[in-house]
């Protein structure tokens, strides 16, 4: 079966500014606050992103950055097919609507086998991002 683009979209409203969400996806300390034990982030188009946590590593490169609006990067994790992740930030009142898109290039059969897992894992991680940003005061 020929590869085709497959996508998961998760939407989350976080009661904080787009700038704080943007920093959470572009700075190593931002990633470590909500997602992993160690991170490396060189936030410019073509810059590397590395995420480390016990039993899991992911690597990627930033593909799109628009300050406080869009972060996109490739994601090649130990336990899933390579994907492109695009995070769209939209201020609404006192909060930010985060649209988290995960796009993979693989067969429909391969994608259907991992879709539920990716939705569960990214949903849990994004809930953690929300909890961290909403309970930790802005600096």
Question: In this predicted model, what pLDDT tens digit does every residue of 5-34 receive, in sequence order?
Answer: 678 999 999 999 999 999 999 999 999 999
Q: Does residue 31 lie within any of the structural domains?
A: no
Q: Does residue 30 lie within any of the structural domains?
A: no
CATH of the domain at 128: 3.30.530.20
Q: Does residue 42 lie within any of the structural domains?
A: no
Q: Does residue 84 lie within any of the structural domains?
A: yes
For 7, the 3-state DSSP assignment is strand
Sheet strand arrangement including 4-14: 4-14, 95-106, 83-92, 70-77, 56-66, 48-53, 38-41
pLDDT at 75 over 90: yes
CB 31 within 8 A of CB 51: yes
pLDDT at 37 over 50: yes
Q: Does residue 130 lie within any of the structural domains?
A: yes
pLDDT at 3 over 60: no
Q: Does residue 43 lie within any of the structural domains?
A: no
Q: Give the per-residue pLDDT at 116.
A: 82
The pLDDT confidence band at residue 105, using thresholds 50, 70 and 90, is low
C-alpha–C-alpha distance, residues 123 and 129, integer Å = 10
The count of domains in the chain is: 1
For 103, the 3-state DSSP assignment is strand
Q: How many CA atoms lie within 13 A of 48 on its CB side?
A: 6
**Domain housing 81:** 4-25+66-135
Q: In sequence order, what are the beta bridge partners of 87? A: 71, 100
Mean pLDDT score, 56-71:
97
pLDDT at 58 over 50: yes
Q: Does residue 88 lie within any of the structural domains?
A: yes
**Burial of residue 101, with CB atoms counted within 10 A of its CB: 0-12 exposed, 13-18 middle, 19 or more buried:** middle
Q: Does residue 51 lie within any of the structural domains?
A: no
Contacts of residue 114, defined as CB under 8 A and 6 or more positions apart, other chains included, come to: 80, 81, 104
Q: What is the pTM of this model?
A: 0.90
């Amino acid at each position: 079966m020929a590869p085709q683009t497959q996508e998961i979209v998760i939407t989350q409203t976080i009661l904080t500014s787009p700038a704080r969400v943007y920093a959470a996806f572009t700075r190593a300390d931002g990633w470590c606050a909500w997602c992993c034990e160690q991170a490396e982030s060189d936030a410019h188009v073509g810059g590397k992103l590395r995420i480390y946590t016990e039993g899991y590593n992911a690597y990627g490169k930033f593909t799109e950055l628009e300050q406080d609006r869009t972060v996109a990067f490739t994601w090649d994790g130990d336990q899933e097919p390579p994907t492109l992740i695009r995070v769209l930030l939209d201020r609404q009142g006192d909060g930010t609507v985060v649209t988290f898109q995960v796009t993979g290039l693989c067969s429909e059969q391969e994608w259907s086998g991992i879709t539920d897992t990716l939705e569960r894992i990214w949903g849990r991680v994004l809930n953690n991002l929300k909890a961290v940003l909403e309970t930790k005061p802005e600096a």
